[in-house]
Structures are given as C-alpha cells and as structure tokens.
C-alpha cells in the first residue's frame, strides 16, 4: 500500500476515476436537460483526468488562477472536438466549449480540494487516506443524488410530454414552456376521463379512516402492554413482532376467498376493515415503546387523585404522547396510502378504486406512458408533501416502525 | 403467634389489573386473530384442497320464467315456461325444487308430471341437476280476464328455488396434489434460486448502500437536511409509482436508460432489462436495494450520531488513520444495529411481493416464492396450489422467527 502513497500517482489515479464520474454526470445532465446528443470521449476523459489529477497535487498558491486556466484549456480543446465531452454535428456550436469549460473548472477545482494536503512526493498515511475519503465522499454525493433523483425527474418530465415527443427522443426532457397549460394535458385527462379525482378522495378517506381505527385499537393495547402487569405480557409483546413477519400475500389469498364468499370484495367497507388490521401491530409496537419511556409517576399521581385507568390514559398519557401519536399516524397514513396488493386483489370496480389501484389500471398498452407517469406523480405528490412538511415526525415514525417494510 | 408469610399468588388488585389489561387488548387480539390467525389456519386447510378459482362460486340453480304466446284477450291460450340450469359446468346440485305462485287469472292445463299444484302455488321437484344440465318445463295455460285486470306479470312473483350443492371448501376431500405440484420439476428450483438470490443480495446491498449513505451524511454541512430528505424519497413514495417509473425508464423501445447508454456509446443495442435472464433478476434486486437503502441509512445514521466523538479524538491522538478509525471504532459500534437490520430486512425482503410483481410480473426468472403464490392461485387459477406455496413460505418464516426471537427481541429489549 505504501508504494501507492505518492502524491502525484494518487492524483493521477483519483483524477482519472473522478474525471470519468464527472464527465458522465455532466453528459447525462446535458443530454437530459437540453436533449442534445453529447457523449463522453473515453480517451480525452482519461488524459484530462490524469493531467488535472496530478495538477491537483501541485502547490496551491493561486487556486483560482489554476481553475480558470483549467477551464479555458479544456473549453478550447472541447471546441475543437478534443475534450472529454464530444457530440454529433447536431449539437449547437457554443455548447461543447462551454460544457467542457465547466467540466474543466469542476474537475480541477474538486481535485485541488481532494488533494488539499497532498504534495507531489511521498505523503503520510493520514493525509493520503483523508484525500481518498474526500474523493469517495464526492463520488458518493454524485452517485446517490443521481440514482435517487433521476427516476423521480424522469417520472415528472415524462408526465409533461406527449406521445410523439416521447417517441422522437426519449432523452429530451427539456420542457417547452410555450405550450402553456397544455403541458398538463395528461393530468387534465386523468382527472376528467379517468376519474382520478374520485380515486384521490377515496384514497384520502380510506387512509384517514385507517389511521383513526388503528389508533383507536392500538392506543389501549399499547398502554396495556407498556404499563399493566398481567400473565402473558412478554409472550404477547413478542407475538406482536411475529405478526409483522407474516407476508401479506399469504394472508391476501384467504382474505380474497372470504371476501368473495361474503360479498365484501369490491367494497370500500371491506378495504377499511382490512387495512387497519395490517397496521395495528406496527402501531401498537411503536406506541408501547414510547409509553414505556413516559414517567410512570405522573400516572400514579393521577391514580392517587382518583382518576380511573381509562381517565389516566385519556387525560395524562395521551396528551403527553402527542408527538408519538403524530409519528404513528403519519406512518400509518403512509402505509395505507401506498398500499397496493390488497387494493389490487380486492377491488375490480373502477368506481371504487383507490389511487394505487387506479394507477395500476393505467398500466396497459392502450394507455399512453405519460398518463401512467402522471398517475404516478399524482399518487406520489401528496405523500411527498406530507413527508417534507412533517419530516421530523415522519423520520421518527420510520425509525420506530421500520421493523415493517 | 403464627409466622407472618408474604402473600402468594395474585391478589384481587392484581387480578383486576390483568382483567383491565386483557380488556384493553381485546379489540386488537380480536381483529388480529380474525384477519391474521384465522386466514393462516385456513391457508393450511386450503392447501390440502383440490380447489380452483372457479370453485369459489358455489354452483346454484338458475331459473327463468316466461309466459309465451302473447295472450291478448281473455280466453287466449299461452304457455307458462320455466327454464332451469346449473350455473356450474361440472358440479352437480342435489334436490332441486321450485316453488312459484301462479298469478290470478291463469288456469293451468296439463301439468308436467314433476310438478303439482296446490291452490295458487306450483311445486316442482327436479331431483339432481348434473353439471351444465338444463331443464325446461312448459305448462299450457288459459288466460282469463282477471289476469289482464290485475296487470300482474308472471315475473312479479319470482319462483323460489332450492338445491344443495357441495362446497369444495367445507367437504372432506383432501389431496396432496397441490404440494406435489409445488415441488415438482425444475420449476421449484428456479423459484427457490430466485428467492435466495433476491433475498440475500437485496438485503446485503441495501445494508451496505445504507451504510455508505449514512457515512456521507454523518457530518454537518449546509444542505444536509435536504439531502437526507431526498435520500428517503424511494422509500416514502408509493411502490406502484416508482416501480412503473423504473419500467418506463428501462423500457427496451422507448426507455431513456437504453437511449442514454446507446448515445454514450456504452452499448450498441437496447437491452431488455426486465425481460431477459439473468438480467431481470439482477434488476429487481437492484430495485430492492434502491428502494430500501433509505431505511437502513436512517437507522445507521441514527446510531452513528449517538456514538461519542471523544473516542475518535482519542484515536486521532493515538495516530489511527481515518480508515482504521472506521474499521476499528465505527464498525464495531454499528455491529448491533447492522445485525438487527440484516435480520429484519432479510425477512422482509423474503416476504416482498409488490415490487417484483409490478416490475416483471414474475417473468424472466424473477418468480420468487411470494410471486409464485399469486401465480399459482390467480394466473393458473389453482387456489389450492397457491395455498400450498403459502404454507411453504410460512414454514420457512417459522425458522426465521426462531432466530428473530433469539436475537432481535433481545436487542429491542422485549
């Protein structure tokens, strides 16, 4: 390993790897953003990576001058078709020098940052590893952000396109603002012709009912498990955990049979009685953990002052555990809103669909892709808004309840 | 003087407390046993039954009544017709009888030998109806003025019909054919392989990716909150939305991923990511990693932030390099949460159905055990075989749950 710990060599190796990552990322951004045909040129990516990587280990006296020089050099080379990013003849004249210039600045700038304490010659293990970690962190940010963001970006952009645009160039995700409101044609059609307004409402009230019923059942249960002494308490709290482990598909089959025979299939009522049962164990588990953390003395004081147990729960425990209730409610809402399997198996009548079932209906060869994506956006946006608005509660709910997935 | 002894057993207060506890737990226990325990038991019952999707609807006799011959005035002759059929094509119905009230003003002529008239009510006995059998009874009638005066149609008094049919769910026919079907042939090995691959690599992948993501965000910087929110998106979004987005993205004909890779010069021909072996299995595993890394990331990050920083400062003083600090300090601290997460995610990945079902529908070698339940029960319409697969899953889970109780519940302090 110590052979590798030579400044310029490290710079060259990391620079090449980093150069490929950056070039590819920038090419994807340009391709997705402007819809032009650019591609990375492996040879020049490699050469520039090696050059700028080793330059990163040079004494950092005037970093801004170096970065400017790096940008100009790569921009000029890009202009004559010798840069890491090249393209076909259809690419606008000014684009390649600019893209390569930006790339050059980013590459050299970040290499200078990575190689902050690294000099040309031999470096200590500490400095070397710190540089490698900075490099890995940089790659991590780019890769994770790209991998998470691209599918959502594609989802939104596809929903704003029309069929012919999609067929013509599946890479062009630029938005033609001159279309005005016609951008939202898919959404308009879903809300009018496909009844998505009704589905939204159905999903909303089914989820709210699920939350209410779940809390109604699990609060007393959680309290009993957390506070009261009775034979079989440990067995009970363990079996709650075991209940999560039964896969839904195994239960869905007998539920389907029972519902078919009793006529509950294809009714919202059937869905509303089945959803809470899938969430009660999780919610009970999360709540009992929280209840245990509450000071028992407060409740005992209440008991001494003549409250009954139920009054204690209502007047003392619940007000104290409002944050936990909010987390649980949000988590249960998310499960109910996202639930797909039961809705898919139990609902056949398009007038009674929940949102997820409605989106599943759009997955057919007769319905254009952008409608499907618009449906996906409609299903995602409310839960995302809720999530971003109440992230603190949501994160806590996820951490507490995430034994279930 | 007797020796004072401490009270043994439960006192009245203790009993009251226990009663209250069970009372509070009753709604949960009741609902969970109705929807979880009862179905689980019924799954075992069904798995030994020769039952298909069509058998769910018990065969019933269906009758149609009509007055033929268009009588227009009193004294016209007409025909009262009952057409009977068995709704099932192969199951018999036993002891079929028909009772109907003849409207006033219809005088019946010669009555079919299977029927008898008592006052205004007609009773017919058809005996047993075989599967798909049809029966017809025609009775000549004379229409009188009273019929037209009342304005009553024959349909207004629908005939009552009775008949017993055997329900395949409740009879005592048992078969091992379902299990034989599940285990027979190479099919089972393919399913098992897909399940093992998906579960093992999906779990490890999500865990390792989550660990990386947690390390990235385990420092304070501007935009950290934003990035954390963003990285949770895959888990929070509805599975149906993200699964269809992936299918759209990787579509072999109009997908952006293929177009991008072709344009970048990585591949020459578009690849059918979700349609060819073994790529489809790898892709669904990648999807699983993508969708569930946020969960492990969240847990690991929470644990990382609770590690004391003094320890790292001391290590720094002693000259430990960053990698050494990670390997010898962070990792051992994280081992507890990592092993719990591994076990939980392992079980949940094993149980996962929606993701694969939406991405490939179980085609191209991606049929795991859970998808096989659906495939057998609904695609092949053999509910019994589906239940048999479910029983297999359940048995595997029982083994997991032993591990679970042994390790996780100790970690969780239960």
Residue % of chain B over a pLDDT of 90: 14
* For range A137-146, the mean pLDDT: 91
DSSP, collapsed to helix, strand or coil, labels residue A67 as helix
| pLDDT above 80 (res A75) | yes
Q: Do B322 and A334 touch (CB under 8 A)?
A: no
The closest CB to that of A380, out of B25, B31, B238, belongs to: B238
Pairing of strands B121-129, B93-101: antiparallel
- Give B321's pLDDT tier (boundaries 50, 70, 90): confident
Higher-pLDDT residue of A402, B150: B150
Q: List, in order, residues 6 or more apart from A257 with CB less than 8 Å away.
A: B42, B46, B56, B169, B383
- Give B376's pLDDT tier (boundaries 50, 70, 90): confident
Which residues 273-312 of chain A have a CB within 8 Å of chain B? 274, 276-278, 280-281, 284, 309
Rounded CA separation B79/B141 (Å) = 6
Query: Across A384-393, B198-207, B359-368, which has the greatest mean pLDDT?
Result: B198-207
Chain B nearest-CA distance from A213, in A, is 11
Rounded CA separation B239/A338 (Å) = 7
Question: Which of A292-296, A355-359, A401-405, B353-357 is least confident?
Answer: A401-405
- Give B289's pLDDT tier (boundaries 50, 70, 90): very high
DSSP, collapsed to helix, strand or coil, labels residue A117 as coil
Q: Per DSSP, what are the bridge partners of residue B123?
A: B99, B116
Q: In 10 A of CB A61, how many CB atoms?
A: 7
| pLDDT above 70 (res A401) | no
| pLDDT above 60 (res B320) | yes
Do A192 and A148 belong to one domain?
A: no
Which range marks the domain in which residue A141 is found? 2-168
A374 belongs to a structural domain = yes
Q: How far apart are the first and last CA of chain B?
A: 44
Q: Output Rg (C-alpha) for chain B, integer angstroms.
A: 34
Do A194 and A137 belong to one domain?
A: no
Residue A1 is predicted with a pLDDT of 57
Do A155 and A252 belong to one domain?
A: no
Do A281 and A359 belong to one domain?
A: yes
Contact A146, B257 (CB under 8 A): no
Contact B372, B188 (CB under 8 A): no
A174 belongs to a structural domain = no
Do A195 and A143 belong to one domain?
A: no
Q: Do B348 and A388 touch (CB under 8 A)?
A: no
Note whether B407 contacts A: Cβ–Cβ < 8 A. no
Note whether B222 contacts A: Cβ–Cβ < 8 A. no
CATH, domain B59-165, list 3.30.930.10, 2.60.40.290, 3.40.800.20, 2.60.40.1220: 2.60.40.290
Residue of B23, B30, B206, B256 to mutate for A, most A C-beta atoms under 10 A: B256
DSSP, collapsed to helix, strand or coil, labels residue A1 as coil
The closest CB to that of B241, out of A171, A359, A391, belongs to: A359
What CATH number does residue A208 fall under?
1.10.3720.10
pLDDT in tens, B331-356: 888 888 888 888 888 888 998 898 99
Note whether B196 contacts A: Cβ–Cβ < 8 A. no
A180 belongs to a structural domain = no
Do A94 and A221 belong to one domain?
A: no
Do A317 and A397 belong to one domain?
A: yes
Q: Say which residue the tokens 């950056």 belong to.
A: A22
Higher-pLDDT residue of B357, A193: B357
Nearest to A139 by CA among A55, A16, A22: A22
Q: How many residues does chain B have?
A: 414
Do A311 and A364 belong to one domain?
A: yes
* For range A371-395, the mean pLDDT: 87
Sheet strand arrangement including B160-165:
B115-118, B121-129, B93-101, B160-165
Residue % of chain A over a pLDDT of 90: 17
The closest CB to that of A340, out of B18, B239, B323, belongs to: B239
Residue A205 is predicted with a pLDDT of 93
Nearest to A243 by CA among A278, A212, A276: A278
Note whether A389 contacts B: Cβ–Cβ < 8 A. no
| pLDDT above 60 (res A42) | yes
User: Burial code of B145-175, b = ≥16 C-beta within 10 A, e = fewer?
Assistant: eebeeeebebeeeebebebebeebbeeeeee
Query: Across A4-8, A135-139, A285-289, which has the greatest mean pLDDT?
Result: A135-139
| pLDDT above 80 (res A388) | yes
A99 belongs to a structural domain = yes
* For range B182-191, the mean pLDDT: 82
Q: Do A251 and B40 touch (CB under 8 A)?
A: yes
Sequence ranges of the domains in chain B: 59-165, 177-411
Contact A87, A96 (CB under 8 A): yes
User: Burial code of B381-411, b = ≥16 C-beta within 10 A, e = fewer?
Assistant: ebbbbbbbbbbbbbeebeebbeebeeebeee
pLDDT, mean over chain A: 85
Q: List, in order, residues 6 or more apart from B403 with CB less than 8 Å away.
A: B343
Higher-pLDDT residue of A195, A3: A195
Contact A364, A373 (CB under 8 A): no
Residue A404 is predicted with a pLDDT of 47
- Furthest CA-CA distance within chain B: 117
Q: In 10 A of CB A89, how many CB atoms?
A: 5
* For range B43-48, the mean pLDDT: 85
Burial class of A305 by CB neighbour count within 10 A (0 to 12, 13 to 18, 19+):
exposed
Do A210 and A159 belong to one domain?
A: no
Residue A145 is predicted with a pLDDT of 92
The superfamily CATH assigns to domain B177-411 is MetI-like (1.10.3720.10)
Query: Domain count of chain A?
Result: 2
pLDDT in tens, A227-258: 888 888 888 877 777 777 788 888 888 888 88
* For range A386-405, the mean pLDDT: 69
Do A143 and A29 belong to one domain?
A: yes
Which residues 78-117 of chain B have a CB within 8 Å of chain A? none
Nearest to A312 by CA among A300, A324, A322, A321: A300
A182 belongs to a structural domain = no
Query: In the numeric block, which tokens belong to residue B290?
Result: 């993508």
Four-residue CA torsion sign, B324, B330, B331, B332: positive
Q: List, in order, residues 6 or more apart from A143 with CB less than 8 Å away.
A: A21
**Nearest chain B alpha carbon to A225:** B21
Contact B411, B336 (CB under 8 A): yes
Q: Do B256 and A133 touch (CB under 8 A)?
A: no
Q: Chain A residues with CB inside 8 Å of B255's CB? A: 170
């Amino acid at each position: 390993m110590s052979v590798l710990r030579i400044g310029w060599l490290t710079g060259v190796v990391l620079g090449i790897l980093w150069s490929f990552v950056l070039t590819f990322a920038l090419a994807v951004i340009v391709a997705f953003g402007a819809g032009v045909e650019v591609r990375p040129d492996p040879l020049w990516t490699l050469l520039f990576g090696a050059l700028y990587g080793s330059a990163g280990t040079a004494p950092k006296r005037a970093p801004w001058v170096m970065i400017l020089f790096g940008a100009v050099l790569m921009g000029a080379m890009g202009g004559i078709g010798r840069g890491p990013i090249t393209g076909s003849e259809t690419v606008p004249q000014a684009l390649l020098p600019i893209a390569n210039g930006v790339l050059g600045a980013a590459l050299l700038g970040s290499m200078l940052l990575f190689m902050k304490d690294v000099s040309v010659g031999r470096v200590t293990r500490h400095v070397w590893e710190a540089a490698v970690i900075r490099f890995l962190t940089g790659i991590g940010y780019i890769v994770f952000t790209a991998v998470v963001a691209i599918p959502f970006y594609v989802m939104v952009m596809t929903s704003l396109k029309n069929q012919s645009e999609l067929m013509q160039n599946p890479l062009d995700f630029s938005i033609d603002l001159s279309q005005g409101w016609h951008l939202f044609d898919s959404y308009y059609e879903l809300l009018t012709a496909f009844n998505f307004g009704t589905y939204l409402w159905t999903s909303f009230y089914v989820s709210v009912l699920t939350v209410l019923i779940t809390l109604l059942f699990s609060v007393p249960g959680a309290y009993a498990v957390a506070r009261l002494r009775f034979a079989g308490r440990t067995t009970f709290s363990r079996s709650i955990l075991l209940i999560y482990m039964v896969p839904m598909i195994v239960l869905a089959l007998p539920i389907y049979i029972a519902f078919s025979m009793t006529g509950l299939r294809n009714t919202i009522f059937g869905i509303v009685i089945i959803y809470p049962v899938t969430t009660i164990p999780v919610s009970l588990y999360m709540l009992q953990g929280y209840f245990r953390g509450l000071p028992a003395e407060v409740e005992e004081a209440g008991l001494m002052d003549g409250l009954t147990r139920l009054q204690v729960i209502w007047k003392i425990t619940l007000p104290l555990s409002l944050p936990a209730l909010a987390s649980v409610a949000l988590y249960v809402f998310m499960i109910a809103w996202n639930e797909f399997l039961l809705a898919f198996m139990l609902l056949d009548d398009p007038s009674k669909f929940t949102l997820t079932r409605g989106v599943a209906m759009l997955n057919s060869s007769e319905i254009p892709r952008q409608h499907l994506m618009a449906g996906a956006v409609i299903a995602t946006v409310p839960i995302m808004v809720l999530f971003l608005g109440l992230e603190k509660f949501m994160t806590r709910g996820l951490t507490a309840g995430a034994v279930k997935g | 003087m007797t020796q004072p002894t401490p009270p043994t057993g439960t006192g009245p207060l203790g009993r009251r407390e226990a009663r209250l506890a069970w009372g509070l737990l009753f709604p949960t226990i009741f609902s969970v046993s109705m929807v979880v325990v009862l179905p689980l038991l019924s799954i075992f019952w069904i798995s030994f039954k020769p039952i298909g999707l069509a058998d769910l609807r018990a065969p019933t006799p269906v009758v149609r009544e009509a007055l033929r011959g268009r009588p227009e005035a009193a004294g016209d002759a007409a025909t009262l017709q009952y057409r009977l059929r068995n709704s099932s094509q192969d199951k018999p119905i036993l002891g079929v009888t028909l009772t109907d009230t003849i409207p006033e003003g219809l005088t019946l002529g010669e009555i079919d030998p299977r029927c008898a008239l008592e006052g205004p009510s007609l009773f017919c006995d058809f005996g047993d109806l075989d599967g798909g059998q049809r029966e017809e009874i025609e009775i000549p009638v004379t229409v009188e003025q009273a019929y037209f005066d009342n304005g009553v149609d024959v349909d207004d008094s629908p005939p009552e019909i009775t008949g017993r049919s055997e329900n395949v769910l409740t009879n005592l026919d048992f078969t091992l054919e379902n299990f034989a079907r599940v285990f027979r042939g190479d099919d089972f090995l393919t399913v098992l392989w897909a399940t093992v691959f998906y579960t093992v690599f999906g779990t490890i992948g999500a865990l390792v990716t989550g660990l990386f993501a947690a390390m990235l965000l385990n420092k304070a910087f501007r935009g950290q909150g934003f990035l954390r929110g963003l990285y949770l998106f895959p888990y929070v979004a509805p599975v149906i939305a993200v699964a269809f987005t992936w299918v759209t993205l990787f579509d072999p004909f109009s997908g952006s991923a293929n177009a991008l890779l072709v344009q970048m010069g990585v591949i020459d021909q578009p690849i059918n990511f979700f349609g060819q072996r073994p790529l489809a299995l790898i892709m669904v595993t990648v999807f699983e990693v993508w969708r569930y890394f946020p969960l492990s990331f969240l847990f690991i990050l929470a644990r990382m932030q609770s590690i004391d920083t003094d320890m790292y400062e001391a290590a720094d003083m002693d000259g430990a390099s960053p990698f050494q600090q990670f390997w010898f300090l962070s990792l051992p601290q994280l081992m507890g949460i990592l092993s719990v997460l591994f076990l939980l995610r392992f079980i949940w990945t094993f149980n996962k159905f929606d993701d694969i079902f939406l991405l490939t529908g179980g085609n191209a070698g991606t049929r795991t055990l859970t998808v096989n339940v659906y495939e057998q029960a609904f695609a092949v319409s053999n509910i019994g075989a589906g239940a048999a697969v479910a029983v297999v899953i359940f048995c595997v889970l029982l083994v997991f749950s032993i591990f679970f109780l042994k390790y996780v519940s100790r970690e969780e302090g239960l």
